[in-house]
Structure 1
Amino acid sequence: MKLSPINITNFKIDGGAMFGVVPKVLWQRVYPANAANLCSWSLRSLVVEAGNRVILIDDGFGDKQDAKFFSHFHLFGGDGLLGGLSKLGYDPSDITDIVLTHLHYDHCGGGIRVNQNNGNYEAVFPNAKFHISRAQWEWAINPNAREADSFLEENILPMQELGLVNFIDDECFITEGVELRIFNGHTKGQIIPIVHHQNGGLVFVADLFPSTAHILLPYIMSYDVEPMITLQEKADFLEESLAKGFTFFFQHDFYTECCTLQRTQKGIRADRLFSLDEFLG
């Protein structure tokens, strides 16, 4: 099994939105904001090569929206999705599977593009299937008012129209060593992949734990539609992860790529902070 991270881009968004009801005086100690209250975040994907499968977990923003849309995110740095894959030695045609943790625009936009010759939507990865939880799909195509702006039709509907979607109904392994779990607090049917590597379980924590700061139970994003469910999901999964020695791989933490966990007098917290390269040894 081969694991490779891609830092697609970095971006800045409001710290209050990312930390919910936690006062700024507390969260800014561990995750600083600038004068405009914007914090820096990463947008990482992970490539998992297992047997004859090359699996991409999440595919970023994409490029189908206009400059006004992207101006809200203050993008900076990163290699881009295709640039990052190229640096790793992968061609888009090499990707066999794309696991989308959920269908918010920063997680699912890069798999579909507009053909510049005819204006039609087409697949960026011609040999890949998109694996999406059925619960998330149905939630996204009939969005609630609070989440509607996060679900963009041009990102979502062409995947089905092109016949590229495989719906995940239950927690499962999509191939040996790659497990998919389902969580419902951030958004209904979010998939959290667990990669069972020879060096231990690596969890792509997506928006269950956007950063090491969010390991603290009350640190829940304002974006979460069911914060009390998130609270319980975090508590339960932290206990399991500590017991099984899982390593967290962060999609959004600008400062930390991976961490292990430890139990303290105040609860479960991040322990050692390190890169994926260090995990791989």
Structure 2
Amino acid sequence: MKIYPVETGNFKLDGGAMFGVVPKTIWQRTNPADSNNLIDIAARSLLIEDGNRLILIDAGMGNKQSDKFFGYYYRWGDFNIDASLKKYGFHRDDITDVFFTHLHFDHCGGAIQWNKDHTGYEPAFKNAKFWTNKNHWKWATEPNPREKASFLKENLIPMKDSGHLTFIDGTEDSFIKNSPLGFDIRFVDGHTEKQMLPQFSYKGKTIAYVADLIPTVGHIPLPYVIGYDTRPLLTMTEKELFLNQAVENNYYLFFEHDAHNQLCTLKHTDKGVRLDQVYTFDEVFN
């Protein structure tokens, strides 16, 4: 097995929305805001090469939306998924599986693209299965008013129509080992229903892909919960359980949304679990 970090593109989000009830005077120490109160956000995927399979964890937001849509998110930098795949000698047609932590547009939008004449949509990874779970799919396709703007029909309906959609079983458990994709999956419900967090053993270490449970290193303390979460108190419970397991088992947290930190370890302190050290992926695994 080989694992590669894949940068699909950076954007910005409102710092207040990203830190909920935490005051700006506190959160800006780790996540400084610009003059519009926006903070840097990444859309960082993981690529897993395992035998004949090439598995992509999340696909970023893509580029099919309107200029007005992208005007809300202030994309910046030069990252894109094609250049990131090319860096490792791959093309999007090589991808066999795309696993979605959840179906908010910034995690799955890149999996669907315009067709050639812009009359409809098609899979951006034409040879890949798209993996989610039945509970989350129902949640996404029958959205509540709070999340409706994040679950976009143009991302979801083409997945089903393409015949590429596949479901993970086992959502009645909070953790399943050795899923059909070869890695473990943790289910968490605070951010959205049945978000799936992959966990891998790689080169003698455990990588936990934390997606929107812990978006950045600034979100490690328990009360630092994003305003987008549907069940923030549940998020805190899920975070506490995960963070303690992460310290006890020396997990390396892989950040999808931290534009400046790829990996970290954690430690116990008298204030609770806190950041220990940050790393690049290459520093730990190359």
- CA separation of 1:46 and 1:78: change in aligned 2, threshold 3 A: farther
1:1-281 maps to which residues of 2 (within 5 A)? 1-117=1-117, 119-170=119-170, 171-175=176-180, 177-281=182-286
SS of 1:167's equivalent? strand
1:199–1:280 CA contact under 8 A, matched in 2? no
For the aligned residue pairs, the C-alpha RMSD in angstroms reads: 1.3
TM-score of the pair, normalised by structure 1: 0.97
CA deviations on 1:230-259 (whole Å, 9 max, x unpaired) are 000000011111111110010111221100
| 1:228 positional shift | 0.7
| 1:120 positional shift | 2.8
1:199–1:279 CA contact under 8 A, matched in 2? no
CA distance in 1, matches of 2:168, 2:130: 10
2:251–2:265 CA contact under 8 A, matched in 1? yes
- CA separation of 1:118 and 1:7: change in aligned 2, threshold 3 A: closer
| 1:30 positional shift | 1.7
SS of 2:33's equivalent? coil
CA distance in 2, matches of 1:79, 1:34: 20
SS of 2:282's equivalent? helix
Q: Structure 2: any 5+ residue segments left out of the alignment?
A: 171-175
Identity %: 44
- CA separation of 1:164 and 1:139: change in aligned 2, threshold 3 A: same
CA distance in 2, matches of 1:172, 1:189: 16
2:112–2:122 CA contact under 8 A, matched in 1? yes
CA distance in 1, matches of 2:90, 2:35: 40
| 1:91 positional shift | 1.3
CA deviations on 1:87-138 (whole Å, 9 max, x unpaired) are 2211122111111000100000111111123623211112110110221111
SS of 2:233's equivalent? helix
- CA separation of 1:196 and 1:87: change in aligned 2, threshold 3 A: same
- Give the letter aligned to residue 247 of structure 2: L
SS of 1:132's equivalent? strand
- Give the letter aligned to residue 257 of structure 1: Q
1:177–1:197 CA contact under 8 A, matched in 2? no
Stretch moving more, 177-186 or 115-124: 115-124
CA distance in 2, matches of 1:47, 1:155: 21
Q: Structure 1: any 5+ residue segments left out of the alignment?
A: none
Stretch moving more, 256-265 or 76-85: 76-85
| 1:173 positional shift | 2.5
| 1:176 positional shift | 6.9
CA distance in 1, matches of 2:186, 2:133: 10
| 1:79 positional shift | 2.3
CA distance in 1, matches of 2:14, 2:153: 24
- CA separation of 1:172 and 1:119: change in aligned 2, threshold 3 A: farther
How many residues were matched structurally? 281
- CA separation of 1:166 and 1:177: change in aligned 2, threshold 3 A: closer
- Give the letter aligned to residue 210 of structure 2: V
- Give the letter aligned to residue 222 of structure 1: G
1:261–1:270 CA contact under 8 A, matched in 2? yes
- CA separation of 1:134 and 1:123: change in aligned 2, threshold 3 A: same
| 1:198 positional shift | 2.1
CA deviations on 1:202-242 (whole Å, 9 max, x unpaired) are 01110000001111000000000000110000000111111
| 1:61 positional shift | 0.7
- Give the letter aligned to residue 206 of structure 1: A
- CA separation of 1:177 and 1:200: change in aligned 2, threshold 3 A: farther
TM-score of the pair, normalised by structure 2: 0.95
CA distance in 1, matches of 2:56, 2:200: 12
